Chain A
Amino acid sequence: MTPTYYLLLSALLFTIGAVGVLVRRNAIVVFMCIELMLNAVNLSLVTFARINGDIDGQVMAFFVMVVAAAEVVVGLAIIMAIFRTRRSASIDDTNLLKY
């Protein structure tokens, strides 16, 4: 086994997250799939840091975590605001900008 296996796991998780974003209709679940993609990229960053013997990759993963936390706060607030006005968390109902 080589550290490349971590990268393969990361690619697999990223793909699952991307498919989830495309398939699921609930805005909150779509958001969770995006979190899964961010986590997969974090795993690859940590693995790159380990392969290179350098800590910079871990610092990048750290910054990704900070940005993800901020993104989650704003995104969930947007979902709450949409839910309050539209009474729905489904992304199919949010079609005000469609036409």
Chain B
Amino acid sequence: MRTETSLVLAQAGADATVSTGEAVAFWVLGPIAVAGALGMIFARNAVHSALWLVLTMLSLGMLYMVQHAPFLGFTQIIVYTGAIMMLFLFVLMMVGRESSDSVLEVLRGQRLMAALLGIGVAGVLAGALTRALTDVPPAPPMNPWTPDGGGAGGLARVIFQDYLFPFELTSALLITAAMGAMVLAFTDRYSKEGKRSQRDLVEARFRGEYERPSPKPGPGVYATSNSVATPALLPDGSIAPESLSELIESTPTAQLRAHREHLDRVERENARALVGPDAGSAGSETGEDSGAGADTPAPTGGAANGTEDKA
């Protein structure tokens, strides 16, 4: 009987301390936080997980503000969503796209066991909390504008008076963390292992560690054009496929195609104009040579003629 009355009193007191606006804020922000947490677990892509976690942390920060802790709420938003989650995103971008999870289950039944464990932990925590805290009357709300409230002034008073030594210890922690990060993330790019010498690179190229020993042919530079879109030409006047830029080739530009065709035609004409007379003179020279040197080409020509005649 007595516990019942205290329970009723406690609930009356609790109802007095939680305003309707706070209840509305809780029932809006709480499900958002839970949805963000679930989304973080179930998102296949790690970047999506990070963004879901940002949602959860934002709503948690607003819940702090609702609970008369405005300084902590803003610190949550600035430090967690602003700094820590952006650090996570930076590392995700450096680690790359392959950071998404594998669907493979390495330990058999692990996910089922984890889900069961989670349900069990949630049940134990919820049961303990509801049993322990139903008859605890909450204190009257703190006023953030008084020195003892949840504002920055009240927090600063407590931190710099009662918690001064732990606060100083956090500075040591932060310096140690910064040093640790520098030591762990440092790569000695200029030591002997870090950078290969020119000789090592050449040997590695010819050993086959790279695609090809020589660099790819660059774009062509001619009297008619000097743009990167101009392909290099092989000795026979055709376009060298390795000199084509993938990016430019994938751009659907009619202008580029017209230019390419024009260039192809001009270069072929040039090549013909250059090679033609030379080829003729070379042929006449070889003709003269063969004429002077008598029979050697004649049998092949005769054999060819003979086969054609037979055919």
Contacts and interface: CB of A to CB of B under 8 A. Distances in A.
A56 B233 CA distance: 77
9 contacts: A2-B134, A19-B118, A22-B114, A51-B136, A58-B72, A59-B163, A62-B75, A68-B80, A76-B88
A81 B150 contact: no
Given A16-B38, A19-B115, A3 B14 contact: yes
B79 A69 contact: yes
B244 interface: no
Interface in B79-105: 79-80, 83-84, 87-88, 91-92, 94-95, 98-102
Interface string A58-69: 110111011111
Interface in B1-51: 11, 14-15, 17-18, 22-23, 26, 30, 33-34, 37-38, 40-41, 46, 49-50
B101 A24 contact: yes
Interface residues of B, number: 89
Interface stretch (B61-69, B206-214, B246-254, B258-266): B61-69
Interface residues of A, number: 71
B102 A69 contact: no
A59 B125 contact: no
B149 interface: yes
A8 to B, nearest CB: 6
B271 interface: no
A26 B44 CA distance: 10
Given A4-B130, A8-B130, A50-B69, A69 B138 contact: no
B174 interface: yes
Task: In the A-B complex, list the 8 residue pairs whose CB atoms are closest, starting with the nearest.
Answer: A53-B139, A70-B177, A11-B125, A19-B118, A2-B14, A77-B184, A22-B114, A77-B181
